[in-house]
Amino acid sequence: MLGYGGREKVVIDLANGLCAQGHEVLLVTLSHDQNEQAHLLNGVIKFFQLPATYQSLGGIKAIGAWIKCLPAFIKLLKAEKPDIVHTHVFFQRLLLAAVAIKFSGIKARHYHTIHTSGLFYKETGFINHIRLQTERLAVKMNRAFLIAISKEVYENIAKPFKRSAAGIALIYNGVDDKQFDYSLKGKVSRTLFGLDENKLVVTYLARITEGKDHITLLKAWKMVAPQAPRAILCLAGDGELKLATQEFCRRENLEQQVVFLGTVKDVPKLLAVTDVAVFTSLFEGFGIAVFEQMLMKIPMVSTNIRPVSDFILPNENGFLFAPGDATALATFIIRLINDGSLRERIGGAGYKTAQQFSMEKMIRKHEEAYAAV
């Protein structure tokens, strides 16, 4: 799917960037729904949607999706005859793509990007072992070349995929500095998001799912709110835990201090009115939202997880707290709310860090990887 998420945004940016460099690009989604960001694709990119729904791609329903999608994907590959097929899916969806490449009979090279450092790449147990073996089979089927988006992802996959992959490259995601331009600050009204102009805005930009750990943030906000009455917490994103998260706010009497913005289509404008950014995710492949916000000169408070901790130096270009430590998170948020000069210093240093993850560099590194195999 091409819904609202970090991985989906990276795929769109990569497709548009390669297109701008003169490459012919086709983009295929396994589902014909939840492709809300498809309109961001360059108009000359061919966009295909396979005949499945997003919900049918998981669990027992995946059998039906395979029956629909596999023949359609094989037919598409035979018709278009791409030189490279670059996948960004995981588990059984990756296997479906690998089987389609194999049985299409085309001589395309398979590249595959791994976007997370969590899930079965790190976690143990029988089910996770089966999932990892499924991906190894999919990679081995066409001797796929793997791309890791951070050092941690690279380290996680180097051993299990060493023999099955044609190679592994480290290519960091890129952030578009033309889109995430800090000069927007002061030009956007808080009222665009239903916020009081006098409020100091703290934003968490993430899907509301288990791994993003919104509850720790809300526990921290219960400590922040009495000490910072002029601050408001904005949660930008949707997900399966949204209702449960809203219920937590009701139980803890946080409804007046927390705003659920849902899916935000114009993220740069939201960041233009954001004073402090928080990131409570428990695992990430790269954490592109962190660097988008740092590129907007917003001071960042993040969980002490890799790869974020590879680039944030505490009290220099951001703050780090142990996952689940609501008290430490609240302490850092309060410090930033109460100290404008600290916000400016940390935000400026974070901006310099984020500049190294340019869109141009990401596109160039992909072109080099495509040419190397």
Q: How many helices (H) and strands (E) does the chain have?
A: 12, 12
* 1/63: higher pLDDT: 63
Q: Is the pLDDT of residue 58 over 90?
A: no
Give the pLDDT confidence score for residue 5 in this predicted structure: 78
- Average pLDDT rounded to a whole number, residues 147-155: 93
Q: Is the pLDDT of residue 347 over 70?
A: yes
- Average pLDDT rounded to a whole number, residues 268-296: 96
Residues 6 or more apart whose CB falls under 8 angstroms from that of 63 comprise: none
Q: Which of 7-21, 38-52, 109-123 has the lowest mean pLDDT?
A: 109-123
Q: Is the pLDDT of residue 305 over 80?
A: yes
Superfamily designation of domain 182-354: Glycogen Phosphorylase B; (3.40.50.2000)
Q: Is the pLDDT of residue 295 over 70?
A: yes
Distances (CA, A) of 163 to 67, 124, 128, 136, 143: 30, 20, 19, 9, 9
Question: 154 falls in which pLDDT band (50, 70, 90)?
Answer: very high
Q: Is the pLDDT of residue 43 over 90?
A: yes
Put the strands of the sheet holding 276-279 in their side by side order.
258-262, 231-236, 200-205, 276-279, 300-303, 319-321
Residues 6 or more apart whose CB falls under 8 angstroms from that of 87 comprise: 94, 97, 98, 110, 111, 112, 113, 144
Question: 124 falls in which pLDDT band (50, 70, 90)?
Answer: confident
Tens of pLDDT along 195-205? 999 999 999 99
Tens of pLDDT along 155-194? 999 999 999 999 999 999 999 999 999 999 999 999 999 9
Give the pLDDT confidence score for residue 372 in this predicted structure: 86
Same fold, 6-174+358-372 and 182-354: yes
* Contact predicate 212/245, CB 8 Å: no
Tokens of 20: 């701008």
Question: 83 falls in which pLDDT band (50, 70, 90)?
Answer: very high
User: Taking the domains of the chain in order of start, what are their residue ranges?
Assistant: 6-174+358-372, 182-354
The chain-wide mean pLDDT, for the chain, equals: 94
* Contact predicate 324/304, CB 8 Å: no
Give the pLDDT confidence score for residue 370 in this predicted structure: 96
Give the pLDDT confidence score for residue 373 in this predicted structure: 66
Question: 332 falls in which pLDDT band (50, 70, 90)?
Answer: very high
The span from the first CA to the last CA of the chain, in angstroms, equals: 28
Question: 34 falls in which pLDDT band (50, 70, 90)?
Answer: confident
Q: How many CB atoms lie within 10 A of CB 372?
A: 10
Q: Is the pLDDT of residue 119 over 90?
A: no
Among 57, 5, 10, which residue's Cα sits nearest to residue 31? 57
Is 0.85 topped by the overall pTM?
yes
Distances (CA, A) of 236 to 13, 186, 249: 21, 20, 15
- Residue 250, classified by CB atoms within 10 Å of its CB into exposed (0-12), middle (13-18) or buried (19+), is exposed
Give the pLDDT confidence score for residue 128 in this predicted structure: 86
302 DSSP assignment: E
- Average pLDDT rounded to a whole number, residues 125-147: 93
Q: Is the pLDDT of residue 325 over 90?
A: yes
CATH number of 6-174+358-372: 3.40.50.2000
Tens of pLDDT along 227-278? 999 999 999 999 999 999 999 999 999 999 999 999 998 999 999 999 999 9
Give the pLDDT confidence score for residue 1 in this predicted structure: 72
Give the pLDDT confidence score for residue 118 in this predicted structure: 65
